[in-house]
Structure 1
Amino acid sequence: MKLFEKTGKMALGSRLRLLTSKVTEDAAQIYELYNIEFSPKWFPVFFVLSEEGEKTITEIATEIGHSQPSVSKIIQEMTVAGLIQENRESSDKRRNVVALTTKGIVLAAKIKVQCVDVDAAVESVILEARYNLWEAIEEWEFLLEQKSLLRRVQEQKKLRESKDVQIVAYEDKYQAAFRSLNMEWISTYFQMEEADYKALDNPKEYILEKGGKIFVALYENEPVGVCALIKMNDPDYDFELAKMAVSPKIQGKSIGWLLGQTVIDAAKELGASKVYLESNTVLKPAINLYHKLGFKKVVGRVTPYERCNIQMEVQLK
């Protein structure tokens, strides 16, 4: 169909629905061909009961991957058709057990004959086709179970938007953004401390003139994230990753990751062997980011921050 040539893969759902409709329409006529009064949508429920005997609605729903309301509706329709009886031989009326009636059992035998022909017909299509749709469906089901289409679209959206983020070196014109972004972030979760004001009020003196660096993330030419690489006077560490803050209005574009990578790359260029950082475990997204950047927990360090309850390092050499 030319429509799908125009829409591309984004119309996958529509194309599958169209194919499903075509197959379902044929299925209804196939039942008529064998003089069987049966709705194609009943088949999964009917098959489970014919092969495994009585079941609860919950058990059927779990086995065929349908919702309980959907299965309940099918059960009601099949009960009206005389194929299913509810609570058959069940002493516990609270447990909704269903099973095939005598009519249903007789019909199951007729459908088995029909299934032989249907299986052969489907196999003939598979042999004629270039690709095995049956195996492809099984593979797609597995892959989408591992990672849903929604999750995959979210990742692609994040990747595309992250390409619009530019990481630049600090300039005086970004001092207000450096201060406000950090104050907003810190004040959301904690309280500003003396060490914060030193770095945020005098970034050139406290960070840059001591051999550190500051990077700014721009989105549509607006500063939306910042991060600093602070030179440490410490025998164990060369630099500290600090003062990372991203505007909550623009999160979800991998800005923290891009800033973190830039800071680590800068530390490598400066010959650092290790980079240190301090944080708090209440900041789960931040801790996860640090782990992805290669940081691991360390203990026994003295910190000037009351809010710090975790210290981490990354080996660069």
Structure 2
Amino acid sequence: MDFYRTMGYVALGSYMRRLGEISQQASAQIYQMYGMDFEVKWFPVFLAIAENEFETVSKIAEYIGQSHVGVSLMVKEMSKSGFVETQKGITDKRETLVKLTPKGQQMQLRMNELLEDLQDTMTEVKNECETDVLRALMEYEQVILRKGLPERIKARLKTRERNKVKIIHLDPTNDAHRAAFKRINYEWIEKYFKVEPLDMESLENPDTFYINKGGLVLLAEYQGNIVGTSALKPMTADSMELSKMGVDSNAKGLGIGELLGQAIIEEGKRLGLKRLYLETNSRLLPALNLYQKLGFKTVKDFSSPYSRADVAMELWL
């Protein structure tokens, strides 16, 4: 018990499973006290059938919030034990109608006596609790149904991993930096288009094409590997072109493109630039969405040395 007090909500799932096991054991003992040869897991399905004669499996599953497959299996088990019988739907033969047998009706009479005593007992338990446990559990259920724990954890995990990404400057003397810059960009260019002479010039010689002209190349590093690239090439005294924005195909989903884009914008501000310009292609929808998210606006009239460029965008800093 100290473990659950110490861990609190972190161990809530394990704690509820423990409570479930305690409840299952107690229920089995109670059925024995009333002389009922009855499986604990049948309880909600049995009551749903008893309350709604000739209900379908689909409606029972919806009513008690369990899967159609699970309810169907329990109906088969109860049918084998002689408590229920089934028949095909009158208008829809795909449906299975379920009703109590005479043996099931006798079980229902005994179940009603148990439920009456159980109601009084649970009221007694409720009165001994400081909070309304059932209402709290129902509220918790609604909260996690609106947004499940995996979805909530996924967002935090993405943030945690994203915080491990480092944005660094390309070192022209570092062979690993140069190799990654080429590999990542050749990968996406060859996937969608064809490599052009200007691509080869910039990727083979990032120092002379970008850095020696006053531009820069940024790299994203994650777990010791280069997983993203971007570059700025001077155009005028106060504007530069953003190019070679690429992310390793094995590192998608971490928001690396956005991190690189934000870093490039900060570098532009640091350099005193007034405008960033880029060219892309309308087929690259994720890239277009990213640039729009970063604040870039479409430029209508432009000419480009790249045959693939059919969209131009700019951002005023």
CA gap of 1:89–1:165, structure 2 versus 1, over 3 A, is closer
> Which residue in 1 is equivalent to 2:228?
225
Question: 2 CA distance for matches of 1:297 and 1:68?
Answer: 51
Distance 1:217 1:283 in 2: 20
Q: Which amino acid aligns with 1:188?
A: K
Tell which deviates more after alignment, 80-89 or 37-46: 80-89
Residue in structure 2 matched with residue 16 of structure 1 by the alignment: 16
TM superposition shift of 1:76: 0.7
Of 57-66 and 180-189, the range deviating more from structure 2: 57-66
Contact (CA 8 Å) 1:273, 1:315: kept in 2 or not? Answer: yes
What is the TM-score normalised by the length of structure 1? Answer: 0.78
Structure 1: tracts of 5 or more residues without a match: none
The answer on 1:249 being equivalent to 2:242 is no
1:181 aligns with 2:175: no
In structure 1, what is the equivalent of residue 70 of structure 2?
70
The 1:249/1:89 distance shift into structure 2, 3 A limit, reads closer
Q: Which amino acid aligns with 2:263?
A: T
Which residue type is aligned with residue 201 of structure 1? E
Letter in 2 for 1:38: F
Report the aligned-residue RMSD. 3.6
Q: TM-score, normalised by structure 2?
A: 0.78
Query: Is contact 2:57-2:68 (8 Å) kept?
Result: yes
SS of corresponding position for 1:144: helix
Same amino acid, percent of matched pairs? 37
Post-superposition offset of 1:261: 1.9
Note closer, same or farther for the CA distance 1:211–1:88 as it changes in structure 2 (3 Å cut): same
Amino acid at match of 1:182: N
In the alignment, is the contact (CA less than 8 A) between 2:219 and 2:226 conserved in 1?
A: yes
Residues 283/17 of structure 1: CA separation in 2 closer, same or farther (3 Å cut) = farther
State the distance in 2 between where 1:242 and 1:41 align: 62
Greater mean alpha carbon deviation, residues 239-248 or residues 269-278 = 269-278
Distance of 1:42 and 1:249 partners within structure 2? 47
Give the aligned residue type for 1:152: R
Aligned partner of 1:171 in structure 2 is: 171
Gaps of 5+ in 2: none
Give the 3 Å change call, closer, same or farther, for CA 79–273 of structure 1 in structure 2: farther
Matches of 2:100 and 2:82 in 1, distance apart?
9
Partner of 1:45: 45
Retained in 1: the 8 A contact 2:89–2:96?
no
Give the corresponding residue for 2:216: 213
Q: Indicate the SS of the match to 1:191.
A: coil
- Partner SS state of residue 227, structure 1: strand
Following TM superposition, by how much is the alpha carbon of 1:155 offset from its aligned partner in structure 2, in angstroms? Answer: 3.2
Equivalent position amino acid for 1:23 in 2: S
Alignment map for 1:1-317 (pairs within 5 Å): 1-2=1-2, 12-87=12-87, 90=90, 92-105=92-105, 107-108=107-108, 110-112=110-112, 114-129=114-129, 132-172=132-172, 173=174, 174-233=177-236, 238-272=239-273, 275-280=276-281, 282-283=283-284, 285-290=286-291, 292-295=293-296, 301-308=302-309, 310-312=311-313
Question: What secondary structure does 1:82 align onto?
Answer: coil
